[in-house]
Amino acid sequence: MRQVAENDLRQLVSESLRESNDSYTIQELFERFPTATELMDISEQQLVSIKGIGKGKARQITAMLKLAKVLAIPDQDQHIIRSPKDVFHLLESDLRYEQKEHFICLFLNTKNRLIFKEVISIGSLNAAIVHPREVFHAAIRRCSASLICAHNHPSGDPEPSIEDVNLTKRLIAAGEIIGIEVLDHIIIGGNRFYSLKEHGLI
């Protein structure tokens, strides 16, 4: 899914409101709705609760955001996750040459279409420290139906460690309680990937 860059969106809203980037109204707006995804779903009622935004400006902003959302829709079809290979192709360029472990979650809707991808944590050379609450806090915020975890092994070997397997099982258990399914955990190393689900480890 094509994502609107946060800085670009901030500039667009600032110009629409004829406000400077560091004005109280813009600061308050982006403090309450810090990501493009959250801002895209904002309502007029939420906007008018911010000092400096009346009904007219609120309608102007929501109309602009609806247009941005419509223009982004065609690209979404490119990111329906059907297999671990889809995850690999989506993330390989982001993770392949990283020297630290990056733990990323792909948040999906009920049709396995990507809603958002987010780096949950960045670890050391050989470890990414992740807690289930961080993963599911982000998943709930994105209104996800399911999620796929992924991280890189800077060593180039995608074989999972015992810690990788145990973390995945903890995330699956937490997801069952919350009602958000963890579909898979993909590990990327060099130009290879390892799916815990395909190998029967989850």
pLDDT per residue as tens, the chain (202 positions) = 344 455 666 777 777 777 787 788 888 888 887 766 667 667 888 888 888 888 888 888 888 777 766 555 444 445 889 999 999 999 998 887 888 899 999 999 999 999 899 999 988 666 667 889 999 998 998 889 999 999 999 999 999 999 999 999 999 999 999 999 999 999 999 889 999 999 999 8
Domain 6-76 top-level CATH class = mainly alpha
CATH number of this structure's domain 80-195: 3.40.140.10
DSSP structure string for the chain: -PPPPHHHHHHHHHHHHT--TTSHHHHHHHHHS-SHHHHHT--HHHHHTSTT--HHHHHHHHHHHHHHHHHHHHHHGGGB--SHHHHHHHHHHHHTT-SS-EEEEEEE-TTSBEEEEEEEEE--SS-----HHHHHHHHHHTT-SEEEEEEE-TTS--PPPHHHHHHHHHHHHHHHHHT-EEEEEEEEETTEEEETTTTT--
| Sequence spans of domains, the chain | 6-76, 80-195
As to burial, measured by CB atoms within 10 angstroms (0-12 exposed, 13-18 middle, 19+ buried), residue 105 is buried
**Closest C-alpha to 110, from 75, 81, 74, 141:** 81
